[in-house]
Every structure is written in structure tokens, then in C-alpha cells.
Amino acid sequence: MPRHLKKTLPYSKSAMKWAYNEKLKRRAQKIWQKSPHFERMKKTDPTTPSDKYIKLITNLPRKLASILTQLRTGHAPLAKHLHRIGKNDSPICPACQQGEESIQHFLLHCPAHQKARQTMRNNTGRRDINITKLLTTPRTLCALFKFMAETGCFHNTFGELPTLAEEPHGER
């Protein structure tokens, strides 16, 4: 074999950067899975950490991105969380007085918001809705934010919520 063919090939800079970034992503995933918050977030978005969330909020107004983040992390200004951090006297839902006002209760079960929830179901085209689909799917966000605006639940904290086009991300 000729001598110049025996030499090792030079490394590709872009391939090295890609490999390094993949290694960092794997390390971050392992660290995240050991985090005490992993179990709670896994229920909301099993793909966390990923670039999907950044893509999901990129075109949202800041106020809506903030609300979505709070809903996904369990830190939304609802009675259960506010009570846990000492900002509310009771975790009981002020709208129905029938249970703790958790994210699950607010979005899926509160009888006081049944009409708005039915509109949200109709707008998403789904008979059954769940937290994961509502908080991670681009095409459900418009219906979710309309539901929140209609209930007025976040009005004290965020004021009027901006409206979105029907499909803000053009994804299906």
C-alpha cells in the first residue's frame, strides 16, 4: 500500500462537535433521571429533557410560555401550590369547593369549569383529553389557552391572556 494511504484520516470538526453534543445530552439525561423532580415531570412530558419544549414555546407570547411552563412543572398559581408555598390559606378549589385545586383538578375535573372544558374538548377534536396531550402537543395549545381565558383562573396573576391563531406552530 502506498505510504500516503497508510496515514490516518483527519477528523471532521463537525462530526466531533456532534459527537461531543450527543455525549453531553446523554450525561444531562442521566443527571435528570436522578433528579427528585424527574418523576413528576415524567408524567407530564416523558421526553424531557428535549428540544421539543423549546420548539413548542418559541412562537408563543412570553406570558403564555410562562403559564405553560408553570403548568408543566406543577408551579402554577392554583390553590394547592399556593397553599404549599404559604401564599394561600387552603388548597381547596375556590371555584367548586369540592377538592384540592391541582393542575389535574383544574384542567380535567373541576365541575365549575365543565362548560369551558367541553369547549376545549371540542376545539381539540378529542373526546378524551389528558394532561400530557394538553401540555405537550402544539395543536392543543390554542384550546388550552382559550380554556384558561374562559375560566378566568389566571386573571389575577397574568391579566388578560393573549389569543393565538388556531394552529400557532403549523404542526399536526
d(CA 153, CA 159): 10
pLDDT of residue 166 exceeding 60:
no
Regarding whether 128 and 101 lie in a shared domain, the answer is yes
Regarding whether 126 and 83 lie in a shared domain, the answer is: yes
- Asked if the structure places residue 6 within a domain, the reply is no
Q: What residues make up the domain containing 31?
A: 14-50
Q: Let me know whether 127 and 79 are in one domain.
A: yes
Produce one character per residue of 71-93: b if its CB has 16 or more CB atoms within 10 Å, e if not. bbbbebbbbbbbbeeeebeebbb
Q: Per-residue confidence at 113, pLDDT binned at 50, 70, 90?
A: very high
pTM for this model (two decimals): 0.75
